[in-house]
Structure 1
């Protein structure tokens, strides 16, 4: 099996579609909203929380979340799309949720301590675990990755009659 085929192999249970749809829909919606409301959700928010070059990283995050969210929804290049979103979620937790443990963050100044952090991090944590699940088990049988794999397998096993 070549490396590309290994990346798109449609491992995982059929029910993996439920995780793909949940995670993909959230990323797609959040990415689109970063385009629609850049001052509140992209460059403006990134500047507030201290991310360098917010004018670059705000639109960059919007594109990444929109594209990867759509790929996850479709089950196309699922494992490839999950990797940048894992990085996105780890950064979101580290930059916006962990500071709450020590007395608030730039965008949540009144939040303080473990329980406030746990409350604020619940969606990021769920998204991260959903992504790790998709990396571990794959997109499942109801995915474009599975369809492409079945078609490629059928072409390889087709016998030509002279």
Structure 2
């Protein structure tokens, strides 16, 4: 099996489309909003929480979330698109949610403790688990990855 065929392998149940649609729609929406509201969701927020070079990383996160979210919605290069989004979610949890355990964070200064962190992290945690599911299970048969895999299979058969 070629590396490309491995990347687009349409494993997973047909119902994986539900996870792809939920996770992809959230990332696409959040990515677009980073450009619509940069002071609140991109550069401004990244400055508040202490991310270096917020003028670069704010729009960068917006591009990653928009492009990869759209790829998840389409089921195109699903596993490839999930990887940068996993990094995005791990960073979001580490930089904005974990500090709440120790007495608040720059963007939530009054919240502290496990339950405050659990409340704030609920969407990030759900997105991370959805991405891990897509990495493990695959995009399912109702995806562009499945269409590409079928075409690749026909091309290999025709060469023989």
Fold agreement, TM-score > 0.5: yes
Cα 1:5/1:46, change in 2 over 3 Å = same
Q: Is the 8 A contact 2:89 2:128 kept in 1?
A: yes
Measured against aligned partners, the alpha-carbon deviations of 1:45-74 in whole angstroms (never above 9, x if no partner) come to 000000000000000000000000000000
Deviations 1:117-149 (A, max 9, x none): 000000000000000000001000000000011
- The structure with the largest alpha-carbon Rg is 1
Per the TM alignment, residue 158 of structure 1 is displaced from its structure 2 partner at its CA by 3.5
1:6 aligns with 2:6: yes
* Structure 2: gaps (5+ residues): none
Question: Does residue 155 of structure 2 align to residue 155 of structure 1?
Answer: yes
> Deviation at 1:156?
2.4
Structure 1 pair 148–92 and aligned structure 2 pair: CA distance change class (3 A): same
DSSP 3-state at the match of 1:158:
helix
Q: Tell me if structure 1 keeps the 8 A contact 2:28–2:66.
A: yes
Alpha-carbon distance change, 158 to 52 in structure 1, aligned in 2, over 3 angstroms? same
Tell whether 2:90 aligns with 1:90.
Answer: yes
Residue equivalent to 1:111? 111
Matched, 1:145 2:152: no
Match in the other structure for 1:133: 133
Give 1:24-43 correspondences, 5 Å limit: 24-43=24-43
Aligned residues: 160
Report the aligned-residue RMSD.
1.1
TM-score by length of 1: 0.97
Q: What stretches of structure 1 of length at least 5 have no aligned partner?
A: none
